[in-house]
Amino acid sequence: MKNLAELTVGERGKVRGVQGGLSQRLRDLGFTRGAAVECLLAAPGRGMRAYRVRGAVIALRRRDARQVTVEDGRHE
């Protein structure tokens, strides 16, 4: 298991859970258990990252992405 911030660009996984202060907001955005997720873009340094989840592209700060637990990513 890893968190969403640990996925590399192009890596995919499945959401296992969401914890923390933004958990409800992240679930509302589509990060629900079992949802397929893919890391699309990573800003230089420790900035924003973009993820595709349920057909939408969502940008998250790394600290917020750490709240989402995913199954080990796969390159498909």
Within a domain: 75: no
Q: Are 14 and 34 in contact (CB under 8 A)?
A: yes
Instruction: Report the pLDDT value the prediction gives residue 35, as an integer from 0 to 100.
Output: 97
This prediction's pTM: 0.89
In a domain, 7, yes or no: yes
Does 50 map to a domain? yes
C-alpha to C-alpha distances, 30 to 18, 44, 45, 58, 70, nearest whole angstrom? 11, 25, 26, 9, 13
Which residue segment(s) compose the domain that 53 sits in?
2-70
pLDDT band at 47 (very low <50, low <70, confident <90, very high): confident
How much is the pLDDT for 73? 55
Residue 58 inside a domain? The answer is yes
**Residue 23 has which token pair?**
């958990």
Within 8 A by CB and 6+ apart from 19, the residues are 67, 69
Domains contained in the chain, number:
1
